Chain A
Amino acid sequence: MKVHFVIFIFFFSGISICFSQNSELKASMQRGNEIYSDFCASCHLEQGEGIAHTFPPLAESDYLMENREASIRGVKYGQQGEITVNGVTYNNVMAPLGLDDQEVADVMNFIMNSWGNTSEKMITPKEVETIKK
């Protein structure tokens, strides 16, 4: 009986941790969605599709999903110079957006978990804070 109880607690706490992370992510994504429409959608477009050769796509973007740190840095400090996204070369400027660390985390969580993108590890303001220019 005791063993059952321990197992029960074990599973239950596991599930609730999982849930709380999920709801945290959801809340972050929701805030991120607002920031996205405000700061990003006019170039990267509503579905993250971008414009080939001008504004790189975020939806199913290999660059975004494989370069977590560089992507955070780009959103935090702006982006300039040549990058390759899904086989297409981009050489453009994204001026610094002026977002705080929480906002950077929120919008990153939104774009990394939308339009077919999924990311296992949620981005926190702490992680953003550690990323320097």
Chain B
Amino acid sequence: MRKSVLLLYLIIGALSFSCAQDPENKVDNPSKVPFEPILLIDELQTPWGMAFLPDGSMLVTEKSGELIHFKDGVKNKITNVPEVYVRGQGGLLDVEVHPDYKNNGWVYLSFASEEGEEKGGNTALIRAKIEDNSLVNKELLYKASPNTTKGQHFGSRIQFDNDGYLYLSIGERGARDENPQDITRDGGKIYRFFDDGTIPDDNPFVGTNGAKTAIYSYGHRNPQGLAMHPETGAIWDNEHGPRGGDEINIIKAGANYGWPVVTYGINYSGTPITDKTEMEGMTQPFHYWVPSIAPSGMTFVTSSKYGDWKGSILVGSLKFQYLERLIVEGNKVVKREKLLDGIGRVRDVKEGPNGMLYVAVEGKGIYKLNPKD
């Protein structure tokens, strides 16, 4: 009898220690928050990305294809935006400005594009300048191929790092068994460029036969969040898993993040994709969510305007319609908080140059989180 009880304890113990992370999500509802949300830009349908210009104004993309310049409380529509392929999750996606925008004026846009031979679309990256509320000097920097009529997984966040490299995420475009594990194909990748779209010589697959040399890391599903860690300068992503298995990853050159060979998720239908959550040669996530929260948009808090938030990660949840704060200690998430509960599908979150936090919510607009002292 005693032996069997002991064995039971051992089994329970082994089970609970065998996972690196608590398998179920535990998210707290904080009783007090250090901010007051204020709707700064109203009447937006699907604000997908936002960026800040040196004069304090903002650029916002609408998935339907509009680029909005918000200045002094007024929305100005920027004209001459490229034709976008609006289908499923595709449309006008992220916007980012060059770190040296003040001197060179470059604005970067990612979007679903029909350019190419085949029917359908795939993710494209351009840069352009804004003159008189119009996009000029447009340069196509990258276009993933082939096109497909599939509606999913364009990825599409743009992020610069401290060394001036430009990163772009592209999802696997609904071809999980063809794209993410094959470095000769686009999709399911994070790409690294110079600011003019040329490919750095020290990208990990330069010199590999047949490889798309813009690839920096692979084995991704649909990374819709990309941010630079303020201290290490490393690029982090968050990506949608299938049912369960959303992830935060620290992006390393040449690393394989495992989709769909290893995952903490299952098919939407409930059937398994694989029984493996780890494998040699495949990088484990920094954090994963079961069940999925559908993370889109991510930022690190560097500002000290929000109490003890400095160093936290903020992630938008499309599925459960809140903003999540992940508190990190050492190399793991120790606590998660649910903010703005029920506000709507949170598409993006950014910290502005003024240290304020901005949250893009579908069907609503852009909220500014006004700090409360």
Residues of B contacting A: mostly:
loop
Contact with B along A80-96 (1 / 0, CB 8 A): 10000000000111011
B156 an interface residue at 8 Å Cβ cutoff? no
**Interface 9-residue window, one of A35-43, A65-73, A115-123:** A35-43
A97 closest partner in B (C-beta): B88
A46 contacts B150, CB within 8 Å?
Answer: no
A99 interface residue, CB < 8 Å from B? yes
Checking B85, B151, B363 against A80 with a beta-carbon cut-off of 8 angstroms, the contacting residue is B363
In the complex, are the beta carbons of B64 and A38 less than 8 A apart?
no
Tally of A interface residues using CB under 8 Å: 21
Cross-chain contact A51 with B151 (CB below 8 angstroms): no
**Residue on A with the closest CB to B87?**
A98
* Residue pair B63, A46 in contact (C-beta under 8 Å): no
A54 and B320 within 8 A (CB): yes
With A80-B45, A92-B345 already in contact, the answer to whether A39 and B151 are too (CB < 8 A) is: yes
Instruction: Give CA–CA (A78, B63) in the complex, Å.
Output: 12
Give the total of B residues in contact with A, Cβ under 8 Å.
27
Contact B174 A38 (CB under 8 A): yes
Q: Which residues of A contact B171 (CB under 8 A)?
A: none
Q: How far is the CA of A95 from the CA of B268 in the complex (A)?
A: 21
A39 to B87, CA, bound (A): 9
Q: Quick one: given A38-B88, A46-B269, A93-B45, are A98 and B362 in contact (CB under 8 Å)? A: no
Q: CB-CB contacts of A44-71 with B at 8 A, as 1s and 0s?
A: 0110000101100000000000000000
Find A45's partner among B86, B174, B268, B294 (CB 8 Å cutoff): B268
The verdict on B152 contacting chain A, using a C-beta distance below 8 Å, is yes
Q: Which residues of B contact A93 (CB under 8 A)?
A: 45-46, 344-345, 362-363
For the complex, give the distance between the alpha carbons of A37 and B294 in Å: 17
A1 to chain B, nearest CB (A): 56
Name the interface residues of B89-148: CB closer than 8 Å to any CB of A: 90-91
Q: Which of A38, A42, A53 has the most CB of B within 10 A?
A: A42
Name 15 extra pairs, CB < 8 A, besides A39-B88, A39-B152, A97-B87. Answer: A38-B150, A42-B152, A46-B269, A51-B319, A54-B321, A91-B363, A92-B344, A92-B362, A93-B45, A95-B46, A95-B63, A96-B86, A97-B88, A98-B85, A98-B90
Can you sample 23 A-B contacts with CB below 8 Å? A39-B88, A39-B151, A42-B268, A45-B268, A46-B268, A51-B319, A54-B320, A80-B45, A80-B363, A92-B345, A92-B362, A92-B363, A93-B344, A93-B345, A95-B45, A95-B46, A95-B63, A95-B64, A96-B64, A97-B87, A97-B151, A98-B86, A98-B87
Residues of A within 8 A of B (CB): 37-39, 41-43, 45-46, 51, 53-54, 78, 80, 91-93, 95-99
